[in-house]
DNA sequence: GTTATATTCAACTGTATGGTTGAACATGAT
DNA sequence: ATCATGTTCAACCATACAGTTGAATATAAC
């Protein structure tokens, strides 16, 4: 896993339309036109969003006849998930360590 | 938790400089000038990044004398973490359900 | 073959982003 | 009071982004 993978994944997830598309894809594969229907956006705009998601590895597109079927790829979330999990724990434990050091916690009064 | 919180958090995390700043803050609070030193960026650029992080709730800035001390706020990661955790599980289970339905798994051959 | 459908691509627009610089301001040090 | 330091702010620039439209392409249906 490399830096720019995270850049792409987090960037892809930062747009509500793209997150909605992902949610929709969780219900099963779908074509682009089918995906674009519920959005107040042009077909091309949704296709671009799919491009961003595909580039981030979150979605795969497979040509099937004249249409293109999109599927979700949960594995790509792992990079982001791992980053968050590690940092959340790391940061929290560092902060707790600092608290203990400084002795701001009331529990430390009788030590 | 609202939609635009996630937008801001994911967007804040999508930049490698900002993630590096967060990592640096995990080691303890720091002033902006101290944070900006290791980066090949102007002071103002780093200050802007801090602004983005603060706006996303990931960092707090407190004025102390003439300098401004930045601290990390791990709690803000929870929104993103929860979103990822839920969707990763949800997507994966949905995909497994579809697999079972279609019977593509070799385990289903003798049923 | 013609037509309709699904998609891509290119061109364009407006706005956001990430960066710069230099001026302004507040506070600490001398 | 003066000077140095830490920070913000405003102006500016280049590029990226999200959106549009219309033309081009590929495939299915008739």
Instruction: Tell me which of A1, A21, A95 to substitute to probe the interface with B (most B C-beta atoms closer than 10 Å).
Output: A95
Domains of chain B by start residue, with CATH: 3-102 (1.10.10.10)
Instruction: Tell me which of A18, A30, A87, A101 to substitute to probe the interface with B (most B C-beta atoms closer than 10 Å).
Output: A87
CA–C1' A72–C1 (A): 39
Helix, strand, coil % (nearest 5) of chain A? 65, 15, 25
* pLDDT tens digit at each of 111 positions of chain A: 677 789 999 999 999 999 999 999 988 999 999 999 999 999 999 999 999 999 999 999 999 999 999 999 988 888 888 888 888 888 887 767 766 766 554 444 333
What is the average pLDDT across B25-53?
Answer: 94
> With 70 as the cut, is the pLDDT of residue B107 above it?
no
Nucleotides in chain C with any atom closer than 7 Å to protein CB: 5-10, 17-22, 26-28
Q: Tokens 């296709």, residue?
A: A47
Assess contact for A46 and B107: CB atoms under 8 A: no
**How far B111 CA lies from chain A's nearest CA (Å)?**
24
- CB neighbours of residue B51 within 10 Å: 12
| A&B contacts, CB < 8 Å | 90
- CB neighbours of residue B89 within 10 Å: 12
């Amino acid at each position: 896993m490399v830096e720019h993978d995270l850049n792409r994944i987090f960037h892809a997830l930062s747009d509500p339309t793209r997150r909605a598309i992902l949610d929709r894809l969780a219900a099963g594969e779908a074509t682009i036109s089918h995906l674009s229907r519920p959005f107040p956006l042009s077909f091309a705009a949704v296709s671009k969003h799919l491009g961003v998601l595909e580039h981030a590895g979150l979605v795969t597109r497979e040509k099937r006849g004249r249409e293109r079927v999109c599927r979700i790829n949960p594995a790509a979330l792992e990079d982001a998930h791992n980053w968050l999990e590690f940092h959340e724990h790391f940061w929290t434990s560092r902060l707790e360590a600092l608290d203990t050091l400084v002795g701001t916690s009331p529990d430390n009064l009788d030590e």
